[in-house]
Structure 1
Amino acid sequence: MHYSYDEPVYLISVVAKILEIHPQTLRQYEKEGLIEPGRTDGKIRLYSRRDIDKIKTILRLTRDMGVNLAGVDIILRLKEKLDELDKLNFELYSKLNKKTQNNDLTIKKNSYDVIIFSKK
């Protein structure tokens, strides 16, 4: 059976075993707001592949780089912002490409900057 990357299907005991950590570590990460596992109606924690990858990042930062959990929180928030900006940048670039292909825009370059002029 194939599950999506974001579908919560792994029990806390399974994730702890996969990552070779204590389940209490996962509970602590949740308490600190670093991860937010899904829950069943019976309140059992379920983790997705995305959650597991995020936990791997947390472990790399704490174990390999010596970052404390407050630092991890800041790094993860900055990474989310960068991902959002990358997505926005890609969308704007795609729109700009469409407009330039349709000859709606002319891009004028000089040695100092790029100026976009709209044809009217």
Structure 2
Amino acid sequence: MTKEFWTVTEVVEIFEVDERFLLELEEEEVLCPICRDDPPSKLFSSAELEKLRLAKILIDDMGVNLPGVEIILHMRQSIYKMRTQFDDILEDLAAHLRETLKKNS
């Protein structure tokens, strides 16, 4: 069974970043942790950890600034959504084509 959420302490340790970096990513709306009230804490999902991993690569290896990271990750998400829509359209088109070919056979 894989873990569903990670604490700030775990994320800081796993990714070797400081809490300030996580806060900056939150401020730029790159990361959106789940906030709990009792006890007060922030939790990060697997999807948020993947965004953090990509942000760290973009910043450390490619020299992208935080606003640039936000734009890149937003564009990446948009591309995935468009790809899913395109796959759905192709699937519908293929089904329609199969149906038409069956009728004409």
Q: Distance in 2 between matches of 1:49 and 1:74?
A: 20
Is 2:62 aligned against 1:73?
A: no
Greater radius of gyration (CA): 1
Q: Distance in 2 between matches of 1:64 and 1:2?
A: 29
Instruction: Mark the runs of 5 or more structure 2 residues left unpaired by the alignment.
Output: none
Residue from 65, 80, 85 that aligns with 1:83:
80
Identity, % of aligned positions: 26
Q: Please identify runs of 4+ aligned residues in structure 1 that moved more than 3 A.
A: none
TM-score by length of 2: 0.88
1:101 corresponds to which letter in structure 2? R
Relative contact order (C-alpha < 8 Å, sep 6+): which is higher?
2
Q: Distance in 2 between matches of 1:2 and 1:28?
A: 28
Q: How does 1:19-30 map to 2 (within 5 A)?
A: 19-30=15-26
> Which structure carries more helix by proportion?
2
Residue 2 of structure 1: how far off its partner (Å): 3.3
Q: How does 1:93-108 map to 2 (within 5 A)?
A: 93-103=90-100
Q: How does 1:1-120 map to 2 (within 5 A)?
A: 1-3=1-3, 7=4, 9-42=5-38, 43-103=40-100
Instruction: Mark the runs of 5 or more structure 1 residues left unpaired by the alignment.
Output: 105-120
Once structures 1 and 2 are overlaid, which stretch shifts more, 19-28 or 56-65? 19-28
Q: How well do the aligned residues superpose, as a CA RMSD in angstroms?
A: 1.4
Q: Distance in 2 between matches of 1:56 and 1:2?
A: 18
* 1:16-51 deviations in Å (ceiling 9; x for gaps): 100011112111110111110111233411001111
- Number of residue pairs the alignment of both structures matches: 100
Residue 55 of structure 1: how far off its partner (Å): 0.2
